[in-house]
A and B are shown apart, each in its own frame.
Chain A
Amino acid sequence: MATQPHTFSTREEAPVTTTIDIETTTTEGAAGSVGSLADVHGDIERVLPDAPPDPVMEAFGLNVFYGDFHAVHDVNLSFGKHEITALIGPSGCGKSTVLRCLNRMNDLVPSARVEGDILYHGQNVYARGVDPIAVRTHIGMVFQKPNPFPKSIYDNIAYGPRVIGMKVDDMDDVVEQALRSAALWDEVKDKLKQSAYGLSGGQQQRLCIARTIATQPDVILMDEPCSALDPIATSRIEDLMVGLREEFTIIIVTHNMQQAARVSDRTAFFTARPDETTGNRTGLLVEYDLTSRIFTNPADQRTEDYISGRFG
């Protein structure tokens, strides 16, 4: 297990006391799960308590504004350790916005303003003095569209450890471990020096996941990671997520309800409520529960309507 201190330094430089010991057992677990959907279905049956017992991240009274526009209203969520949490809902319901608050990527939007608390192991990510750059070394992110850097496959993986100044004994090992964890090693081991742009979309997305793993984060955020991929590539990424759950906490935004049902342990359903005067749609959390319950016996009528395809 990756051991990492669960606090951010409030200084300029990120603390890099990360030890580079992705154990080989977990690596094999991730690699072995690819292509065997039985594992995935087996995992869905796992029994979880009603509320995450050991939340890695929590949101309390989260409100997000873009200028005057109220994008997200009063969201409370907690994300369990080594669980996959899916955020679902119709377009414009604020689920991506919530996700991007968790590692302060919303800071990059000039007009964005965040109210409320986002806790990471109890520490407020938005507290004064917390460096967003340090936050992002603990909470990695995979984007909607595969976005490898215009560099070689090797350099794509090595980039993260290099920029955060991670102490690395052998970068080749880091690259290999990350690619193995992302179930990409066998496909690219002979062309590490080639451009990442030569890979297929699905491979590029797994490269992006490997790139995120290489910096040894604690939490991986995924913003619709399969929306640009075909069903086969999607299924490989889903298998990968289930394997990565052993080591990381994963929070995924998805438009694909089947995907949420297949991979996630818990599901949060968001919807958008139009403002009566301006018509602007504000996102709010409708229901948050175990995935099995959300998809079989939702408590809220709006959830049931969305799940059964009656709207959205």
Chain B
Amino acid sequence: MASAAVATARETTVAIATGKTRDRSPGSLAFLIALWASLFFGVMVLLVLIVSTALDGAARMDGALFTNYLSSLQPETSGFRAGILGSMWLMLGTSLLAVPLGIASALYLEEFADRNRWYNRLIELNLQNLAAVPAVVYGLLAVAAMSVLGFSSSGIVLGGSIALALLILPVVIITTREAVRAVPREIRDGSLALGATVWQTTWRQTLPSAVPGIATGTILGLSRAIGEAAPLLLVGVAVGIRFDPNGFLSAFTALPMQIFNQTSRPQEELQTAAAAAIIVLLVMILGMNALAIFIRNKFQRSW
């Protein structure tokens, strides 16, 4: 035994090699540089975009941008009041539609659905496909929904809200399911073992614990929706609205629509105003994302 061990023992040197680390070999360095370059490309494009837009629009970051309506007669004081207010109404309508529907669907799929049933599996499969459907298609769907509901006037807040709610519904459902799934089995078991029903357990334990995750996912979904113009085009949202929307049945316009329209105008003042409006839209989106991050960090529980 002993001799065999000696025979197979590796010849060992006592000194540890010094000098250049193998982590700095040419191959490793080339790889590291490639990684840096990829990162640099992505970040730089975004940065250049933001900086150049900010420089373009800086001249028009004034009060008139928020208080005036669009005007090609007085391009130097043209504003996006209708678009900003319209987008806010749109977000309100979208969240009122998408949040209850999304949470209810997710709760059904996570807590009540029998995975072995073919129709539940079909729904799950469809849900994943829905998340990949182009935004324009949801616009068409909303047009159809509005005509089925019997609304003849196009371009109202309700129509836009239906389009955007359909757009973000898969996102809300998927993130809610993940938040609900993250609530440990033990919490549900503890509740059920006390004689609570599945309904009581869901309503009193699972859902409250999942609220931070649901809120984060929903806000991220909304911040995607606020930048959408394509589905709104199909719903027939106008651009040159010169009044404030005053309800879900009011005609309205949205910020991305106005930006899209104004950037193609020949007057340089209008393009400058559009650049300023892009900054406003970006700030709105960043604000919503910041809120989502805040909620996640502040309330999300690590089990």
Q: B-contacting residues of A (Cβ < 8 Å)?
A: 14, 103, 105, 108, 110, 133-134, 136-137, 140-141, 143, 145, 147-150, 159-160, 163-164, 208, 211-212, 215
Tell me the bound Cα distance from A137 to B194 in angstroms.
6
User: Which of B142-150, B154-162, B197-205 is near enough to bind chain A?
Assistant: B197-205
Contact: A149 with B195, CB < 8 Å? no
* Interface residues as binary, B148-179 with A (CB distance below 8 Å gives 1, 0 otherwise): 00000000000000000000000000000000
* Interface residues as binary, B177-195 with A (CB distance below 8 Å gives 1, 0 otherwise): 0000000101101111111
Cβ of B289 < 8 Å from any Cβ of A? no
Contact: B190 with A163, CB < 8 Å? no
User: Chain A nearest CB: distance from B190 CB in Å?
Assistant: 4
Contact: B196 with A163, CB < 8 Å? yes
Task: Closest B residue to A16 by CB, please name it.
Answer: B195
Contact: A105 with B193, CB < 8 Å? yes
Q: A-contacting residues of B (Cβ < 8 Å)?
A: 114-116, 184, 186-187, 189-197, 200, 204-205, 208-209, 301
Given A110-B115, A150-B301, A137 contacting B195 (CB threshold 8 A): yes
Choose one: A110, A134, A140, A148; the contact of B193 (CB below 8 Å): A140
User: Chain A nearest CB: distance from B184 CB in Å?
Assistant: 7
Contact: A163 with B114, CB < 8 Å? no
Contact: B189 with A143, CB < 8 Å? yes
Q: Which residues of B contact A211 (CB under 8 A)?
A: 190, 194
Count how many pairs of residues, one from A and one from B, have CB atoms less than 8 Å apart in the complex: 68
- Additional A-B contact list (19), CB under 8 Å, known A140-B193, A141-B193: A133-B192, A133-B197, A134-B195, A136-B192, A136-B193, A137-B194, A137-B195, A141-B189, A143-B186, A143-B190, A149-B190, A149-B191, A149-B205, A150-B208, A159-B204, A160-B195, A163-B191, A163-B204, A215-B194
Tell me the bound Cα distance from A163 to B187 in angstroms.
15
User: Chain B nearest CB: distance from A204 CB in Å?
Assistant: 11
Q: Which residues of A contact B194 (CB under 8 A)?
A: 136-137, 140, 159-160, 163-164, 211-212, 215
Task: Closest A residue to B116 by CB, please name it.
Answer: A110
Main DSSP-derived SS at the B contact region: helix
Choose one: B187, B189, B197, B204; the contact of A105 (CB below 8 Å): B189
Given A136-B192, A140-B193, A147 contacting B186 (CB threshold 8 A): yes
Tell me the bound Cα distance from A141 to B119 in angstroms.
35
Choose one: B114, B195, B301; the contact of A136 (CB below 8 Å): B195
Tell me the bound Cα distance from A110 to B111 in angstroms.
12
Q: Which residues of A contact B114 (CB under 8 A)?
A: 110
Q: Which residues of A contact B208 (CB under 8 A)?
A: 150
Contact: B187 with A147, CB < 8 Å? yes
